[in-house]
Structure 1
Amino acid sequence: MNLSKAQKDRIMQWNALDELRKMVVQHKEIIQHQHAKWHDKYIKERKFKSGDWALLYDSRYKDTMGKLHTRWLGPYEIVEVFQNGAVRLETIDPVRFKLLVNGHRLRLYHKPATKEDFLQQFDNQVQTIAPTASTRGLLGPEC
């Protein structure tokens, strides 16, 4: 095979271009891996269970600025949690309405305590922090 100098130069340029493409692909893969690692570092893993209550983020108000606007709807009861992060919710109203949402749009809602439970918990806390004989002198003569 008798090749001229121009043809040899052209083959060398193609080889150099191929090596450059391989380097660019490797660099792109490294950058993508770094971006994915950085992104995953800031994702919170949320664990919901059936029976929990949750608030649903209302994305219609994401652009409105104001301290009196609520961005959360609910509370809703969690019926089912799927492997892909989706959650089936149900309203707690007498008329049950089910909806399926992404788990990242939810925030855990702590059920309010009944009045009796609250008073019992309050009494238990007061009994545990009642002044003892050793702390009476530290608090002053009026205790």
Structure 2
Amino acid sequence: MTPSEAQKDCIMQLNALDELRKMVFSHIKITQHQHAKWHDKYIERKFKSGDWALLYDSRYKDSMGKLQTRWLGAYEIVEVFENRAVRLATIDLVRFKLLVNGHRIRLYHKTSTKQDFLQQFDNQVKTTVPAASAGGLLDPES
């Protein structure tokens, strides 16, 4: 092999290596795009101001007892920013405001009081009973 042939062979191998690197780089970009698309489709959370949320307590991330809770709250969502940051406010009299990443919170559904539950139940019964009695199923006089 002459030196010029060895140089040509080395250049060809370097070109093949560059082609392989470009192909791997494009494959990585495609898979990252697919993962981001999946994440936005299935994991994206929509928050509105006025909702209630629980805040993840990251202090106990590694060493936590199995009966301790990881969630703090409930907090009221005051403002939602475009970068998914969320401003929370406590329900105390102090009402200090807290700015957190939207990935650290989850929606909290307030529990209803006994009176609210009974009122909702009465409203549902009132709306369903006349519709059923109109058909003659529950009306004893017909």
Deviations 1:89-121 (A, max 9, x none): 111111111111100111111233344322210
Counterpart pick for 2:9 among 9, 12, 16: 12
2:22 counterpart of 1:25: yes
Matches of 2:65 and 2:10, distance apart in 1? 57
Q: CA deviation at 1:76?
A: 0.7
Matches of 1:107 and 1:82, distance apart in 2? 16
Matches of 1:59 and 1:47, distance apart in 2? 22
> Secondary structure at 2:74's aligned position in 1?
strand
Deviations 1:57-109 (A, max 9, x none): 1112223241x211100111111111111111111111111111100111111
> Secondary structure at 2:73's aligned position in 1?
strand
Matches of 1:134 and 1:96, distance apart in 2? 54
Given residue 104 of structure 2, which amino acid in structure 1 is its aligned partner? Answer: R
Give the TM-score, by structure 2 length: 0.76
Matches of 1:125 and 1:45, distance apart in 2? 33
2:82 counterpart of 1:83: yes
Number of aligned residue pairs: 132
Identity, % of aligned pairs? 55
Partner in structure 2 of residue 95 of structure 1: 94
Partner in structure 2 of residue 116 of structure 1: 115
Matches of 1:98 and 1:40, distance apart in 2? 32
Q: CA deviation at 1:25?
A: 2.2
Given residue 96 of structure 1, which amino acid in structure 2 is its aligned partner? Answer: R
Matches of 1:10 and 1:35, distance apart in 2? 37
Deviations 1:112-138 (A, max 9, x none): 334432221011234456686647xxx
Give the TM-score, by structure 1 length: 0.76
Deviations 1:13-42 (A, max 9, x none): 113312322222222321342244235424
Unaligned runs of 5+ in 1: 136-143
Unaligned runs of 5+ in 2: none
Name the Cα RMSD after superposition.
2.6
Partner in structure 2 of residue 38 of structure 1: 35
Given residue 9 of structure 1, which amino acid in structure 2 is its aligned partner? Answer: A
